Structure 1
C-alpha cells in the first residue's frame, strides 16, 4: 500500500487509524516518521514519503515520532493472514527467531538461503531481517525503559542487544532520546520491578477498531484448561511456555486496547510473549476489510451488523491447541476441558510464578482454579500410555500419533509452518478428519480462510439464516466470503446460545 501515494496522503490527512501498521509516514522536513493517525497536523504532501515498515523508515534515517509512537502501532494484518515466505518470515521474526538463531536460523526455518530471505524482505518491506529484528528490539527496549526501574544494562540484555553501547546507540537513533531521557519522560510507578525481580509489566495492546470481545474472550474462557487458563476479575489469564522461561499473562478488553499484565521469569521473552498474545487475540486483523466483504452476502449482513469486529480466537501454542482439538472431537466443551485438565495434572510442568496481577499463584489443586501449570510439551505427552486416557480406543491411537509427530518434528504447526503441508500431514494421521484439520488451521495456524462446513453449529446457523445447510452447497455459497471464511465461521457460531459467544459474568 505504501506505493499508492494518493491513498496514503488521504489516510494521513484524515488521521485514519485503520491504516496504522499498514504503512508509515516519513516527514522530510523534520526527519521523523509517524503512524497515519498521528494527532500532529499533517505536513504538505510533497514533504511526505511512505514506508512499508518501521524498520524501513528507521533505515532511511527517520526517527520515531514522540507523540504517536509509530513503533507501537498494530502490526500489518498481512503477516498473520498470508501464507507466503515474507509473511512467514515476519511471524518468525516476531517470535524471536533472529535474536535466538540469527538470520541463518530464519532462513533454515523458511527453507530458503540467507540471500533469498534478505532479497524477499528488502523487496517488500524495504528492510532486511536484521533491521526488522533491530526495530523489534528497539520497541522492547522502550517498553522496559518506560515501564520498569531495571538498570539500563539489564534492559539492554532483556531487549536482546549484544552490548549496552548498541542499546544506547539504537535508542538514540530511533527515538532521538537517550535511554535515561526516555525514562525521565515516562517514570515507572513506585514499586515497579527492579534488579533481580521477575518482570511484572502493564502494557496496552492496540488493535484496529471495531473489536467485539464477546466471542474472542468468551471462547477462551469457556474452553479454558484448569491449571493453565482461567477467567478472573474480568480478565482471561493463562500460563505461557517461552524460550527462556515461563510467564503468566492477564488480558482484559477495553474500548481502544487490550490491557495486558505480564509476569515473566525472564524479561528477554517480553517481545515473544507480546507477539504470541497478539496472535491469540487476532489483534492485527483488519475488521473493516473483513466485515465489508462478509456484508456483501445479504443473509450474513444482519449478523455482522449486530456485533461487528469479531476476531478469530487463536492460541499461544499451536501444538497445545492441536492436542486440545483432538480431545474435543465429538464431546462437550466441559468434557474436553476435563480431558485436557487430566493431562495437565499428570504431566504438565508446575509453575511458581506470580500472577499477572502481582499476587501469588493459587496453590490449590488444578480443578480448584488458579494458574498452577504449563500445558505439557509434545515430548511429555508422547510418554503417556494412551491406554490411561478415558477416550475411545480410536482416539487414543490418534492422540499417540499426533503427539509423536509433534514431538519428533515430522508435523510442524509453528508460526513458520506451510499451511498446505500441515493440513496434508494432519490428514495423514489416523483418526484426524477434515473438521479437526480445519479447526487447527483456523486457530493454530491462523489461516483466515479455514472453513468447517460439516460443523453442526455452522449448519444449524446456516439453516436459521436461510443459507444452504448441506456442506457442499454451503461451500459453494461461501466462495464469496473468501479469503475470510474463518471470520464467517465466528459470525455463524455467534447465532447460537453457547458460552463461547459471551463474556463470562
Structure 2
C-alpha cells in the first residue's frame, strides 16, 4: 500500500487508525516517522515519505515519533492473510526466531537460502531480516525500560542486544532519547512498574467483538493450563527460554496484557503469541465488508462486527487437543486434556491464580500408554500417531509453517479427517480461509439460515466468503446457544 502515495496521504490527513501498521509516514522536515493516525498536525504532502515497515524508516535515518509511538501499533494484516515466503518469514521474525537462531536459522525453517530470504524481504519491506529484528528489539527494549525496574544491562540482554553499547546506540537512534531518559519520561507520565509483572496494552484495529473470542477460550480452557479469572483469560505459556503466565483482559480501546515471565528474554515472543492468540492484527473492516456482502451473513456481521478467530499460543498443544476432542463434547474434551496435563505436564507456580502446569510437549508424551486414554481404540491410535509425528518433527504447525503442507501431513495420519485438519488449519496454522464444513454446529447453523447443510454443498456455497471463511465460521457458530459465544461472568466461588 505504501506505493499508493495519494491513498497514504489521504489516510494521514484523516488520521485514519485503520491504516496503522499498514505503512509508516516519515517527515522530511522533522526527521521522524509516525503511524498514519498520529495526532500531530499532518505535514505537507511534499514532505511525506512512506515506508512499508518501521525498520525501513529507521534504515532511511528517521527516528520514532515520541507522541504516537509507531512501534506500538497492530502488525500488518498481510502477514496473517498470506502463506508465502515473506509472510511466513515475518511471522517467524515476530516470534523472535532471528534473535534466537540468526538469519541462517530463519532460512532453514523456511527451506530457502539466506540470500533468497534477504532478497525477498528487502524487495517487499525495504529491510532485511536483521533490520526487521533490530526494530523489534528496539520496541522490546522500550517496553522493558518503561514497564520494569530491570537494570539497563539486563534490559539490553533481555531485548536481545549483543552489547550494552549496541543497546544504547539503537535506543538513542530509534527514539531520540537515551535509555535513562526514556525511563525518566515513563515515570513522569505513567504508573510505577509492578514487581515481577510486565503490564502493557495490546492495540487492535477496531471494531473488535470480544464475546466469541474470549468466550471460546474460556469455554474450552483446560484446567491447570488455562482459566477465566476476574474478567481475564489467563494461560500458561511455554516459551523458548522458560515459561510465563499471560493474563488478557479486553477493554474497548485495547487488550490489557499482564505477563509474568521466568526469563525476560521471552518478552517479544510472549507478546506476539498473545497477539496471535487473539487475532489482533486482523483487518476487520475488510473482512466484514466481504462477508457482509452475502445476504445470508449480512445480518450476522451487522449484529457483531469485528469477530476474530480464537487461535492458540501452542500449535502442537492444539493439534493434540483437537484429536482428543473428536466426536465428543467440549466438557469431555477438557476432561481428557486435563488428565494428560495432570499426568505429564510440567508443574509451574502461579501466585495470582489457579494455573498449575504447562501442557505436555510431544516428547513428554512419547512414552504415553495408549490404554491409559479413556477413548475408543481407533482414536487412541490417532493420538499416538499424531504425537509421534510431532515429536519426530515430521509435522510443522508453527506460525512459520506452510499451510497446505501442514494440511497434507495431518490428513495422512490415520484417523485424522477433514474436521480435525481444518480445525488445526484455522486455529494453529492461522489460515483465515480454513473452513470446517463438516462441523456439526456449522451444519446446524447453515440449515437454520437456509444454507446447504451437507459439507460438499456448503463448501461450494462458501466460495464468495473466501479468503475469510474462518471468520464466517465464527458468525455461523454465533447463531446457536453455546458458552463459546459469550464471555463468562466471573464466578467468585471458583476463584
Tell whether 2:451 aligns with 1:467.
yes
Q: Secondary structure at the match of 2:170?
A: helix
Q: Deviations over 1:465-485 (max 9, x none)?
A: 122222222111110000000
Structure-1 separation of matches of 2:194 and 2:422: 43
**2:169 equivalent in structure 1:** 169
Q: Deviations over 1:124-156 (max 9, x none)?
A: 000000000000000000001111111111110
**2:391 equivalent in structure 1:** 407
Deviation larger for 464-473 or 315-324:
464-473
Within the candidate set 217, 220, 227, 1:220 is matched to 217
- Write out aligned runs for 1:83-98 (5 A): 83-98=83-98
**1:192 equivalent in structure 2:** 194
Cα–Cα, structure 1 residues 189 and 7, in superposed 2: closer, same or farther, change >3 Å? closer
**2:333 equivalent in structure 1:** 336
Per-residue deviation, 1:405: 0.3
- Write out aligned runs for 1:118-157 (5 A): 118-157=118-157
Q: Secondary structure at the match of 1:146?
A: helix
Per-residue deviation, 1:192: 3.5
Cα–Cα, structure 1 residues 361 and 103, in superposed 2: closer, same or farther, change >3 Å? same
Per-residue deviation, 1:80: 1.6
Tell whether 2:373 aligns with 1:389.
yes
Deviation larger for 261-270 or 463-472:
463-472
Could you tell me whether the CA contact under 8 Å between 2:451 and 2:458 is conserved in 1? yes
Structure-1 separation of matches of 2:400 and 2:463: 26
Tell whether 2:358 aligns with 1:374.
yes
Structure-2 separation of matches of 1:166 and 1:2: 30
Structure-2 separation of matches of 1:427 and 1:137: 38
Could you tell me whether the CA contact under 8 Å between 1:350 and 1:374 is conserved in 2? yes
Runs of 4+ in structure 1 over 4 Å off: 188-191
Cα–Cα, structure 1 residues 309 and 166, in superposed 2: closer, same or farther, change >3 Å? same
Tell whether 2:273 aligns with 1:239.
no
Structure-1 separation of matches of 2:186 and 2:343: 45
Could you tell me whether the CA contact under 8 Å between 2:20 and 2:74 is conserved in 1? yes
**1:504 equivalent in structure 2:** 488
**1:273 equivalent in structure 2:** 270
Q: Deviations over 1:152-201 (max 9, x none)?
A: 111101100000000000000000000011111101745633xxxxx411
Could you tell me whether the CA contact under 8 Å between 2:148 and 2:193 is conserved in 1? no
Structure-2 separation of matches of 1:245 and 1:407: 19
Per-residue deviation, 1:361: 5.1
Within the candidate set 306, 318, 328, 1:321 is matched to 318
Q: Secondary structure at the match of 1:186?
A: helix
Which consecutive unaligned segments of at least 5 residues does structure 2 have? 490-495
Could you tell me whether the CA contact under 8 Å between 1:294 and 1:481 is conserved in 2? yes
The alignment's TM-score, normalised by the length of structure 2, stands at 0.97
Could you tell me whether the CA contact under 8 Å between 1:402 and 1:429 is conserved in 2? yes
Per-residue deviation, 1:88: 0.5
Could you tell me whether the CA contact under 8 Å between 1:361 and 1:372 is conserved in 2? no
Cα–Cα, structure 1 residues 479 and 191, in superposed 2: closer, same or farther, change >3 Å? closer
